[in-house]
Structure 1
Amino acid sequence: MPGRVIAITGASGALGSAVAKTAVGQGCRVALIDHVHHTPHGLADGEDVMIQGGVDLTDAASAKGAIDAAAARFGGLDAVLNIAGGFSWETVEAGGAETWAKLFALNVQTAANVCRAAIPHLKASQAGRIVNVGANGAVKAALGMAAYAASKAGVHRLTEALAEELKAHGITVNAVLPSIIDTPANRADMPKADFSTWVTPDELAAVMLFLASPQASAVTGALIPVTGRV
């Protein structure tokens, strides 16, 4: 991993921060992309870290600008980790069409925009990688999860289609399917849950960075459950 250039979207969130810190710890050069101007604790813009805040990844031109800037800064791009996304719980009966549109934009469109922008740069890499974040909850949707699960299922299909599209170029495309991630927000929402069964951001980061490594060349089009003990 030393010297590999990785773009991480949603880099200011709990998972994005964990992935960013792990990547830097493994010697990667990272572009941290998010819609907010907040950086992972312990990281600052410097020789091996590029921080890009205020980026609207639902806009194709904005996504392309961020990816092109990262490639220009580091002289190329080896991997993209699509972590940016959103969640909403509501029943179909009590919900609205706006939730479906919002979650499609946040979960599917952001990933598609970033992937499209990154493909020309990844083709120039010796080991181009795309790693998306799907959801185990999109394999079988639960109560109140229709819009979210449908959008994450879209990420799964995007992953599979891109894997077929890019395999001749040596670019792998995979997705991790986490269960409940052990974050402060999830603990606050589910205070009576057994947190010890949840997957931690660091555990998920380890899987994602393996998939982003040259060693994962034989894995593409995979939807990999990373569910802890849920």
Structure 2
Amino acid sequence: MARSVIVTGGFGVLGSAVAAAFAAQGDKVARIDFAPSAKEPLVGALDIGGVDLTNEAATRTAIDKVAAAHGGIDVLVNIAGGFIWETLEGGSLASWAKMQAMNLTTAATITQLSLPALKASAAGRVISIGAGGAVKAGMGMGAYAASKSGVHRLTEALAEELAGTGVTVNAILPSIIDTPTNRADMPDADFSTWVQPKAIADVILFLASDAARAVTGALVPVTKGG
């Protein structure tokens, strides 16, 4: 039976790969993004652009649209977010608030508002994108790592909160993801060691599957390139 899947940040490189993977196995996919429209269409997907996921009203409107079109919500994949490399001494304190909003508040907002639908599902799933770089932060990674560490803690706390339900809550902790933006930012790096978006999508599909029904509260490193 086709499930109703929401992918936030669904217009980006990773979001597009994840949404396409769910669609390929026959699921009903909704892509929600801050960008007004997707660069590439996904056949059959419900695309909702221009959504500020830190805004409760806008997020609720998007969720209601998905639930009405697809008959509820079974899987929520939190990919929306951003990255800043900035030292504390040479950077802006506003960057800390920006990273918190983009990476943690977005996930917390849509997850909270989706909980009634997810709990009504036969097998609700919440899967978020954390970061390997939030386990131990390097120079310039403080604001980003702090926000992604918040995603890790949100995952653990919510998994325990929902332990008595049919909903599982997990997070993926990738190393550097092979995207055009990252290649442009780090042109001298060895791209072969970077994680492919499709590989991350495969892990997300597993965590969303019935085979992973007993896995919850897990922070799953995804670090192998090639």
Identity, % of aligned pairs? 58
Partner of 2:59: 63
Partner of 1:147: 143
Comparing 62-71 with 143-152, which one deviates more in the overlay?
62-71
Cα displacement string for residues 56-104 of structure 1 (whole angstroms, at most 9, x for unaligned residues)? 1011221121112111111111010000001000001111211000000
Partner AA of 1:10 in structure 2? G
| Matching of residue 3 in structure 1 with residue 8 in structure 2 | no
Partner of 2:20: 21
Q: Distance in 1 between matches of 2:79 and 2:177?
A: 13
Q: Secondary structure at the match of 1:12?
A: coil
Tell me by how many angstroms 1:7 deviates: 0.4
Q: Secondary structure at the match of 2:29?
A: strand
Q: Distance in 1 between matches of 2:91 and 2:180?
A: 26
Q: Distance in 2 between matches of 1:65 and 1:11?
A: 17
Q: In the alignment, is the contact (CA less than 8 A) between 1:11 and 1:40 conserved in 2?
A: no
Q: In the alignment, is the contact (CA less than 8 A) between 2:37 and 2:50 conserved in 1?
A: no
Provide the TM-score with structure 1 as the length reference. Answer: 0.95
Partner AA of 2:170 in structure 1? N
| Matching of residue 195 in structure 1 with residue 191 in structure 2 | yes
Aligned equivalent of 1:176, options 151, 172, 179: 172
Q: Distance in 2 between matches of 1:175 and 1:64?
A: 23
Q: Secondary structure at the match of 1:174?
A: strand
Tell me by how many angstroms 1:192 deviates: 1.0
Q: Secondary structure at the match of 2:100?
A: helix
Provide the TM-score with structure 2 as the length reference. Answer: 0.97
Q: Distance in 2 between matches of 1:81 and 1:183?
A: 19
Within 5 Å, which residues of 2 pair with 1:1-230? 2-39=1-38, 41-44=40-43, 46=44, 49-229=45-225
Tell me by how many angstroms 1:214 deviates: 2.1
Comparing 34-43 with 18-27, which one deviates more in the overlay?
34-43
Partner AA of 1:213 in structure 2? S
Structure 2 residue ranges without an equivalent (≥5): none
Q: Distance in 2 between matches of 1:144 and 1:204?
A: 25
Q: In the alignment, is the contact (CA less than 8 A) between 1:17 and 1:40 conserved in 2?
A: no
Q: Distance in 1 between matches of 2:221 and 2:200?
A: 10
Partner AA of 1:60 in structure 2? E
Q: Secondary structure at the match of 2:146?
A: helix
Tell me by how many angstroms 1:212 deviates: 1.3
Q: Which runs of 4+ in 1 moved over 2 A?
A: 37-42
Q: Distance in 1 between matches of 2:89 and 2:224?
A: 32
Say how many residue pairs are matched: 226
Tell me by how many angstroms 1:38 deviates: 2.5
Cα displacement string for residues 141-183 of structure 1 (whole angstroms, at most 9, x for unaligned residues)? 0010000000000000000001011121110000000000000
Structure 1 residue ranges without an equivalent (≥5): none
Tell me by how many angstroms 1:42 deviates: 4.4
The RMSD of aligned alpha carbons is 1.3
Q: Distance in 2 between matches of 1:185 and 1:112?
A: 26
Q: Distance in 1 between matches of 2:5 and 2:211?
A: 15
Q: Secondary structure at the match of 1:191?
A: coil
